Amino acid sequence: MEKEWYVVNTYSGHEAKVKEKLEAKAESMGMQDYIHRIIIPETTEIEVKDGVKKEKVKKMFPGYVLVEMVMSDEAWYIVRNTPGVTGFIGSSGKGAKPTPLLPQEIDKILANMGMSRVNIESEMAVGDKVSIVDGPFKGMMGKVDSIDLENNRLNVLIDLFGQETPVEVEVYQVSKQN
What sign for the dihedral angle of Cα 91, 82, 84, 62? negative
Note down pLDDT in tens along the chain; length 178 residues: 788 999 999 998 999 999 999 999 999 999 988 998 899 998 888 888 888 988 888 898 999 999 999 999 999 999 999 999 999 998 776 778 899 998 778 878 887 777 767 666 667 788 889 888 878 888 889 999 988 877 778 899 998 888 899 999 887 778 777 6
Note the pTM of the prediction, 2 decimals. Answer: 0.70
Residues 101 and 162 in one domain: no
Number of domains in the chain: 2
Q: Do residue 66 and residue 113 come from a single domain? A: yes
| Cα–Cα distance list, 139 to 76, 135, 136, 146 (Å) | 34, 9, 9, 20
Last residue of a domain, one of 102, 117, 132: 117
Q: Angle at CA 116, nearest 5°, toward 114 and 119?
A: 130
At 165, the amino acid letter reads T
Print the domain residue range for 102.
Answer: 4-117
Q: What is the CATH number of the domain that holds 35?
A: 3.30.70.940
